[in-house]
Amino acid sequence: MWTAHQESTDYVHTHMPIDVDEARIWVKAGDGGNGVVSFRREKFVPFGGPDGGDGGRGGSVYLVARQGISTLLDFTHQRTFKAERGGHGRGARQHGKAGVDLELAVPPGTHVASEAGLSADLLRPGDRVMVARGGRGGLGNTHFATSTQRTPRIAQKGEPGEERTLQLELKTIAQAALIGEPNAGKSSLLAATSSAKPQIGDYPFTTLSPNLGVAEAPGDMEQVFVLADVPGLIAGAHTGAGLGHRFLRHVERAPILVHVVDASRPDVMDAYHVVRSELEAYKPELTEKPEIVVANKLDLPNAREGLIHLREGLPNRVVIGTSTVTNEGIPTLLDAVANALRNLPRPEEPDGGVRVYRMDTTEDDGFVVKTVEPGVYRVQGKRVERLVAMTDLASDEGTDHLQKQLERLGVFDALERAGVQVGDTVTIGEWETEWGL
Ligand SMILES: Nc1nc2c(ncn2[C@@H]2O[C@H](COP(=O)(O)OP(=O)(O)OP(=O)(O)O)[C@@H](O)[C@H]2O)c(=O)[nH]1
Ligand SMILES: [Mg+2]
């Protein structure tokens, strides 16, 4: 009899090639639904009180870091994303339904920025940040009834949802980054220490984009860490030579550097310094990270001399001899990385969530009056423009109400101070009006 054999899923040992690490997308939250003008109908009551419901709020757009996603590839297929708009209100005080929020899954380690000043890091799976707020629903006419106006024929339109262009950037989160000149054996070391299967070749620039692998320190099942293998660095990399500084960004987040040198070459210290100079030129802070030096290809002739040269030249570094052919030194290297990780100062963990550095203020009451040409004025400001967008400009009651709100905000005062005259043109958002008395 057959028994079902369930293959265990090994989440840890995965090979995640990072192909796409930058993307530019446009997001738009849903507009709020419109409020409605409606009146109660009852038998024998020809014209009842107002019962127009409010519009529902528009859906917001969120970015969520999700485990298992490792590239921004999806954002090259589709670049514009819209959340659902809110439903319109209806009679009998029925409110429109809220628009569904839109969640865009991004890889952990994604940094998001917008020109308007949003800047956030989604480091860990589950981190979530709102990138465009849904518009509020417009108010139905029930809200506009007063003692003197019992049959208001005015309702608000929904507030427009926010929209913005976002720059996404994936920064690898690995505990240790394998750096070194092309052909030093970085990818071979990644393959030897994890189950990642990077491309390995006897020519420079075999690795064109970073690879991640999860390594386990021997004898200590608890100590697993992610190793990043990045393309080789050559002199001038920081100015764009070779594959350029593009991948040094991935090195930035790794707290530990594993610097691989081909120990079989005669000039091991030169090889070491070329790479160090590139780090220094790109960002001097990078050179302050703890660094483990690996003298690789120990199985080749002269490599032991190379190892000795490195040890002599770098008295303040742990220098480990390895061979990916004989496996010599690999367990020692893993131990050294695990040790260095344990000795790191505790990373300041973002307290359970997204690290948002800056966020633009959506509630911006300010406005400016600009003279476009003599006799033509434009009022600009988030709040005033939103008020206009939420007004049914075809309705006299709507524009009356808008004018009252603008007056209260001091817009009319400001226009008068700017020198507006009867008959001049004033525009705010979509609204254009002639200045009267
Ligand atoms: N003899 C010997 N050859 C090695 C060893 N490690 C790597 N190699 C060889 O060195 C060559 C380059 O190895 P890679 O792992 O692709 O080197 P890399 O540093 O990732 O190179 P880039 O991706 O081009 O930067 C390949 O031909 C490997 O087989 C080693 O320990 N001993
Ligand atoms: Mg490689």
Q: Which of 239-243, 353-357, 414-418, 428-432 has the lowest mean pLDDT?
A: 353-357
Overall average pLDDT of the 256-268 stretch: 96
Which pLDDT does position 420 carry in this prediction? 87
Please report which ligand is nearest the Cα atom of 302: 1
**Predicted local distance difference test score (pLDDT) of residue 6:** 31
pLDDT at 120: 84
pLDDT band at 356 (very low <50, low <70, confident <90, very high): low
Residue 390 counted as domain residue:
yes
Residues 18, 123 within the same domain:
yes
The kind and range of the H/E element at 334 are helix 330-342
Cα(124) to centroid of ligand 2, in Å?
27
- Rounded to whole angstroms, how far apart are CA atoms 176 and 280? 18
Give the model confidence (pLDDT) of 117-130 as tens digits.
778 888 777 888 88
Residue 162 maps to which CATH number? 2.70.210.12
Whether residue 68 has pLDDT greater than 80: no
Q: Is residue 358 part of a domain?
A: no
Q: Is the pLDDT of residue 345 over 80?
A: no
What amino acid is encoded at 272 in this protein? Y
CATH code of residue 384: 3.30.300.350
Distance in angstroms (rounded) separating the CA atoms of residues 272 and 278: 10
pLDDT for 4 equals 34
Q: Which residue has the higher pLDDT, 10 or 36?
A: 36
Residue 415 Cα to ligand 2 midpoint, Å, equals 65
Q: How far is the centre of ligand 2, averaged over its atoms, from the C-alpha of 202 (Å)?
A: 10
Ligand 1 atom at shortest distance from the alpha carbon of 326: 31
- Which residue, of 171, 199, 227, is where some domain finishes? 171
- Mark whether 103 and 197 lie in a shared domain: no
Residue 354 lies in a domain: no
The answer, yes or no, to whether residue 302 has pLDDT greater than 50, is yes
Tell me, yes or no, whether 206 and 220 share the same domain. yes
Instruction: Report whether pLDDT(53) > 90.
Output: yes
Q: Indicate whether 100 and 197 sit together in one domain.
A: no
**219 C-alpha to ligand 1 centroid (Å):** 27
Residue to probe by mutation, ligand 1, list 189, 200, 325, 332, most atoms within 8 Å of CB: 200
Domain match, 28 and 55 both: yes
CATH number at 205 reads 3.40.50.300
pLDDT value of residue 244:
53
Number of domains into which the chain is organized: 3
- CA 17 – ligand 2 centroid, Å: 12
Query: Could you tell me if residue 186 is inside a domain?
Result: yes
Taking CA atoms only, the protein residue closest to ligand 1 atom 8 is: 185
Q: Is residue 141 part of a domain?
A: yes
Report how far ligand 1's centroid is from the alpha carbon of 266 (Å).
17
Nearest CA to ligand 1 atom 5: 297
Query: Is the CB of residue 188 below 6 angstroms from any atom belonging to ligand 1?
Result: yes
Say if CB 181 and CB 235 are below 8 A apart. Answer: no
What's the CA-to-centroid distance between 123 and ligand 1, angstroms? 32
The residue out of 123, 148, 171 marking a domain boundary is 171
Q: Is 328 in the pocket of ligand 1 (CB under 6 A)?
A: no
Evaluate: CB of 324 within 6 angstroms of ligand 1: yes
Q: Are residues 147 and 197 in the same domain?
A: no
Average pLDDT of the chain is 84
State how far the Cα of 45 lies from the Cα of 115, in Å rounded to an integer: 56
Q: Does residue 22 share a domain with residue 127?
A: yes
d(Cα 63, Cα 5) in Å, to the nearest integer?
A: 37
Range of the domain at 404: 368-434
Is residue 1 a part of any domain in this protein?
no
Based on the fold, state whether residues 279 and 190 are members of the same structural domain.
yes
pLDDT at position 361: 45
pLDDT of residue 212: 75
| Residues 185, 158 share a domain | no
- Pair 296, 271: CB distance under 8 Å: no
Q: Residue 354 corresponds to which tokens in the numbers above?
A: 């997204």
What is the position in ligand 1's atom list of the atom closest to the CA of 203?
A: 24
Determine the distance separating the centroid of ligand 2 and the alpha carbon of 183, expressed in angstroms. 7
Q: Whose CA is nearest to atom 24 of ligand 1?
A: 205
Please indicate, yes or no, if residue 359 is contained in any of the structural domains: no
The verdict on 217 and 109 lying in the same domain is no
pLDDT at 8 over 90: no
Asked if pLDDT for residue 318 goes beyond 50, the answer is yes
Q: Report, as an integer, the average pLDDT of 92-120.
A: 89
Q: Given 147, 171, 195, which residue is the final one in a domain? A: 171
What pLDDT score does 311 carry? 97
CB 31 within 8 A of CB 160: yes
Name which of 244, 344, 218 is nearest 291 in CA terms.
Answer: 344
Do 38 and 61 lie in one domain? The reply is: yes
**Does the residue 363 lie in any domain?**
no
pTM score of the predicted model: 0.58
Q: Is there a contact between 50 and 38 (Cβ–Cβ < 8 Å)?
A: yes
pLDDT number for residue 49:
85
393 and 274 in a common domain: no
Structure confidence by residue, pLDDT tens digits, 197-244: 888 888 887 787 777 777 777 765 566 777 888 888 877 777 766 665
For 3, phi then psi, to 5°, come to: -115, 145
Name the residue of 189, 193, 206, 322 to mutate for ligand 1: max ligand atoms within 8 A of Cβ. Answer: 206
Task: Please give the C-alpha separations between residue 135 and each of 61, 78, 144, in angstroms, as whole numbers.
Answer: 11, 23, 20
Q: What is the pLDDT at residue 300? A: 96
pLDDT-based confidence at residue 175 (cuts at 50, 70, 90): confident
**Contact at 8 Å (CB) between 114 and 140?**
no
